[in-house]
Chains A and B, each alone.
Chain A
Amino acid sequence: MEKTVNNKAWFMVLPVLLLVAFTAVIPLMTVVNYAFQDSFGNNQFFWVGIEWFQELLSSERFHDALVRNLIFSFSILAIEIPLGIGIALCMPKKGWGVPVCLVLMALPLLVPWNVVGTIWQVFGRADIGLLGYFLNSLGINYNYTQDPVAAWATVIVMDVWHWTSLVVLLCYAGLVSIPEAYYQAARIDGASRWAVFRYIQLPKMHSVLLIAVLLRFMDSFMIYTEPFVVTGGGPGNSTTFLSIDLVKMAIGQFDLGPAAAMSLVYFLIILLFSWVFYTVMNNAGTEKKHYAGEE
């Protein structure tokens, strides 16, 4: 088919271009601009080249926050994905239980981030919180404001409570789309429960799982509000993730140059990881390209 070239089309996309420019491109360029300059206030800027980047990449503070964030993200993925699949498999496929389960599952997702943080902050307190009081009365010394292990446990359990539902709902959507004939065929083929999961349910959930992993990774890697409300990054720096660190640097210390450099690196890391996840999971599932040459 001949392609129609009409330059008027550019005017049609202009509004979108302007919108994207003002909401994404120009702010990003401002950050890029800051990242290569130093400022001593008074709107005076000095060109420093890649100095901030060099400083950032060799800074222990950045390394620690990055490692903490990676541990956090992989921990919650390791818990939420299997747990989400498990719950989705247990959910009823028809009847009155379906809407009940769906509503229950959707509830945590509807709670605003800072409210989730506040809920867990109170919930975990040793003096008035149900969880904290209960654990301490069992003889477990649980205090998330002083003990890094308790702080980490609280932040991870909170994220699992908040976001496993998303994985459940995505997996459930994948599961209910499997035609009944697959299960019937599996029964006729004498497949075990495990084989049904491995060869029917898991492959059919593959694409939704990919979305779930990507969303949960990106979100958890950028997590700010909930741990900030609960622990404020403490005790010490033990729960200071990248975004909390970034805010401290930009707003707390007003180091605009280093903070801008850090946001750029942060952004690139998320982009890189997401790309890797996407590629790996896509290839693991299909392997189509590998066989394409045979025909």
Chain B
Amino acid sequence: MARIDLDHIRHSYLPNPTSPSDYALKEVNLTFEDGGAYALLGSSGCGKTTLLNIISGLLTPSEGELLFDGKPVTELSTEARNIAQVFQFPVVYDTMSVYDNLAFPLRNRGVPAAEVDQKVGEILRIIDLESKAKRKAQGLTADEKQKISLGRGLVRSDTNAILFDEPLTVIDPHMKWVLRSQLKHLHKQFGFTMVYVTHDQTEALTFADKVVVMYGGEVVQIGTPDELFRKPQHTFVGYFIGSPGMNILPCEVDGNIARVGGHSVPLPCGLDPKKVAQKTEVGIRPEFVKLGGAGEGLPLKVNAVEDIGRYRILRGEMEGVALNAIVGEGMSIPESPTALFDPTQTNLYADSWLVSEGA
């Protein structure tokens, strides 16, 4: 187990990168604390897997340094880094038994047979495959195979970190919950440093203590699930996390007031007059949009109302910009509704980045 530092890591898949757009991973400075459970969240192609492969050594970064517990490991091979990684699709050695599959990483490292037996037994119990230990891995179901992949990642007790690359993609929804809580449980029990790549926000938010949100090859925010929800540092975070995502409305700022299409929205803070922003936007979560009657707030054109059980999602627009609101149970939707923003939960964005208080 180790603390992992990424120091000015950049990576390009091109041999001679010139412009910033040539980089799959733009400068990343990041620290994964020892024993932390992290999720790397972002849409496809944002550099999550690249970052993960750099940590495990399957890729050598174009620039920058990787440190485990302060020691540089950038030049070390994957084997020497002592990392476990679980891939998106199950990787099992078909001709080996389930037992041998799990024992494989240990035997390759010359672990004595008795210890192998004890560790493999333990993992078999955790992944609930004891009854199939002697079976060939070939012909098992996809989630059993993925459990073996997970097991091979967990079987070594001395790994510096365990990396998961969207490991539950092929698993049935109900098994996802089971496996995820088992992982969480294992994390608590053994204290491995875990990094979990996913594009599924539910997965990220339930698994991790800290979520690293990536966008276009950059880390846009690192925070607890609550921070990501309440104070998204970047409009992408606001939009990506939450269902539906944050409402982002273009505005003009006048002191502590944002003007959205001729209507005033009070803000918790103003814009630093010294800073020049190309574009300014207000962001508010649909959860914090209240509905009022005519004349009370911003006029809202209702396009659709989705009833999803405990609450309803009002899909609307305001002067051509999408604006969603969550309508709680028992609340009615007025005839010609207007939107009222909770000022404490309204965020101001300058050039897509959050303007924080006092800035």
- A contact set with B: CB distance below 8 Å: 179, 181-182, 184-185, 187-192, 195, 199-200, 203-204, 285-288, 291, 294
Contacts and interface: CB of A to CB of B under 8 A. Distances in A.
B88 A181 contact: yes
A179 B94 CA distance: 14
B94 A203 contact: yes
B134 to A, nearest CB: 8
A189 B152 contact: yes
B138 A288 contact: yes
Nearest to B153: A188
Nearest to B81: A188
Contact of A286 (B53, B108, B138, B152): B138
A14 to B, nearest CB: 41
Contact of A191 (B53, B83, B85, B108): B108
A179 B58 CA distance: 14
Interface in B91-111: 91, 93-96, 104-105, 108-109
Contacts of A285: 95
Given A187-B57, A187-B78, A189-B105, 9 more contacts: A184-B85, A185-B152, A188-B85, A192-B108, A195-B104, A195-B108, A203-B94, A291-B135, A291-B136
Given A181-B87, A184-B58, A189 B108 contact: yes
Contacts of B152: 185, 189
B288 interface: no
Contacts of A294: 135
Nearest to A200: B93
A285 B139 CA distance: 12
Nearest to B131: A294
A292 to B, nearest CB: 9
16 contacts: A179-B91, A181-B88, A181-B89, A184-B87, A188-B85, A189-B104, A189-B105, A189-B108, A190-B109, A191-B104, A199-B96, A203-B93, A204-B94, A285-B95, A291-B135, A294-B135
Nearest to B86: A185
Contact of A181 (B57, B78, B91, B94): B91
Q: Name the prevailing secondary structure of the A interface residues.
A: helix
A182 B104 CA distance: 14
B84 interface: yes
Nearest to A179: B89
A204 B138 CA distance: 11
A200 B105 CA distance: 14
B79 interface: yes
B95 A199 contact: yes
Nearest to A198: B95
A181 B146 CA distance: 13
B56 interface: yes
A181 B49 CA distance: 12
Contact of B95 (A189, A203, A291): A203
A192 B110 CA distance: 12
Nearest to B109: A190
B149 interface: yes
A288 B136 contact: yes
Interface string B128-169: 000000011011000000000100100000000000000000
Contact of B105 (A190, A203, A287): A190
A182 B91 contact: yes
Contact of A187 (B58, B88, B96, B138): B58
Nearest to A188: B85
A195 B138 CA distance: 17
A185 B91 contact: yes
A189 B138 CA distance: 19
The 3 A-B pairs with the shortest beta carbon distances in the complex, nearest first, are A190-B108, A185-B91, A189-B105
A285 B56 CA distance: 32
A161 B353 CA distance: 67
A291 B89 CA distance: 25
Contacts of A195: 104, 108
Nearest to B91: A185
B136 A188 contact: no
A199 B93 CA distance: 6
Most A C-beta atoms less than 10 A away, residue of B84, B89, B139: B139
A203 B83 CA distance: 26
Interface string B283-322: 0000000000000000000000000000000000000000
A185 B138 contact: no
A81 B57 CA distance: 35
Contacts of B83: 188
A129 B104 CA distance: 54
Contacts of B135: 291, 294
Contacts of B87: 181, 184-185
Contacts of A199: 93, 95-96, 104
Contacts of A288: 136, 138-139
Contacts of B109: 190
Interface in B178-200: none
